[in-house]
Amino acid sequence: MLPLDLLSGFFAICILLALTPGPDNIFVLTQSALSGRLAGIFVVLGLCTGVLVHSSAVALGVAAIVQTSSLAFNALKIFGACYLLYLAWSVLRIQPEPIAVADPSAAAHKPDQQKSDYFRLYRRGIIMNVTNPKVSIFFLSFLPQFADPARGSVAAQIFILGGFFILSTLLIFGGLALLAGTIGTHLRNSTRAQNIINKIAGLVFIGLAIKLATLQR
């Protein structure tokens, strides 16, 4: 349906976009450093799910509503900014403590708690991505440029392009999560380092909230 040279060029652009510093990869870095590599991967999966939501919105024409309606745009960005402030408050109130050596028998008794923590991080990634109206408008203006009605269903092409965008996000953001998580493992053994990480993460979330709240179409 889509020629290989077009998909290759689109994928290269997606890789460059993923490498560009922005709210999403900063979010991945801070969460991986705070909670570990696997936690960072779940955040990445959440962000990728958000990309799927945006791709679906573009394919179905829903994103056009956000672009044309000031009320929808402002409601979405205010909700997103409030959620980021909530994340900042959650991080800043954490009391640092050294990480104890993992006890396999103890871990075996807390699978539900681990699943709950990972699901919460996954959900954060989704909300972080979906509540940014700039992403909706970006997808609305970006993806259709590579779709051509002459090649068949435009909606199907949008979903394919969205899939390639998700793949680039998994590769780049997943690498960031692994790197930051490895470094964070050493930092989290120090209460002083934890305190610094928490404050940095809190300030990052506050900064992102302010940036989102003042966003203009």
State pLDDT tens for residues 137-168: 777 767 777 777 788 887 888 889 999 999 99
Residue 59 in any domain: the answer is yes
Residue 14 in any domain: the answer is no
User: Residue 88: pLDDT band by 50, 70, 90 thresholds?
Assistant: confident
* Least-confidence region, from 12-21, 38-47, 149-158, 181-190: 181-190
What's the mean pLDDT in 161-184? 88
Quick one: pLDDT at residue 196? Answer: 74
Residue 6 in any domain: the answer is no
Longest dimension (CA), the chain: 60
Quick one: pLDDT at residue 108? Answer: 45
User: Residue 197: pLDDT band by 50, 70, 90 thresholds?
Assistant: low
Residue 179 in any domain: the answer is yes
Gap between the terminal Cα atoms of the chain: 33
What's the mean pLDDT in 25-33? 82
Residue 150 in any domain: the answer is yes
Residue 139 in any domain: the answer is yes
Q: Which residues contact 135 (CB under 8 A, 6 or more apart)?
A: 50, 54, 129
Residue of 27, 5, 6 whose CA lies nearest to 177: 27
Q: Which two tokens stand for residue 73?
A: 């745009």
Residue 66 in any domain: the answer is yes
Residue 35's Cβ-side half-sphere holds a number of Cα atoms within 13 Å equal to: 20
Task: Say which DSSP state 20 is in.
Answer: S
State which residues form the domain around 158. 23-70+108-189
Quick one: pLDDT at residue 185? Answer: 63
Quick one: pLDDT at residue 103? Answer: 41
Strand intervals (E) in 91-183: none
> Can you give the three-state secondary structure of 142-160, one letter per residue?
HHHHHCCHHHCCHHHHHHH
Flag whether pLDDT at 200 surpasses 60: yes
Instruction: Round to whole Å and give the CA distance between 87 and 165.
Output: 26
Q: How many domains does the chain contain in total?
A: 1
State pLDDT tens for residues 92-140: 776 655 444 334 444 444 556 667 788 989 998 898 888 877 677 777 7
Please say whether the beta carbons of 28 and 177 come within 8 A: yes
Instruction: Round to whole Å and give the CA distance between 18 and 11.
Output: 10
* Least-confidence region, from 6-20, 64-78, 165-179: 64-78
Instruction: Round to whole Å and give the CA distance between 124 and 52.
Output: 15
Better-scored residue on pLDDT, 62 or 196: 196
State pLDDT tens for residues 39-83: 899 999 999 999 898 888 887 875 566 667 788 778 767 877 887
Better-scored residue on pLDDT, 47 or 181: 47
Count of other CB atoms within 10 angstroms of residue 201: 23
Residue 125 in any domain: the answer is yes
Q: How many residues can be counted in the chain? A: 217
Provide the sign of the torsion angle of the four alpha carbons 137, 141, 142, 147, taken in this order.
positive
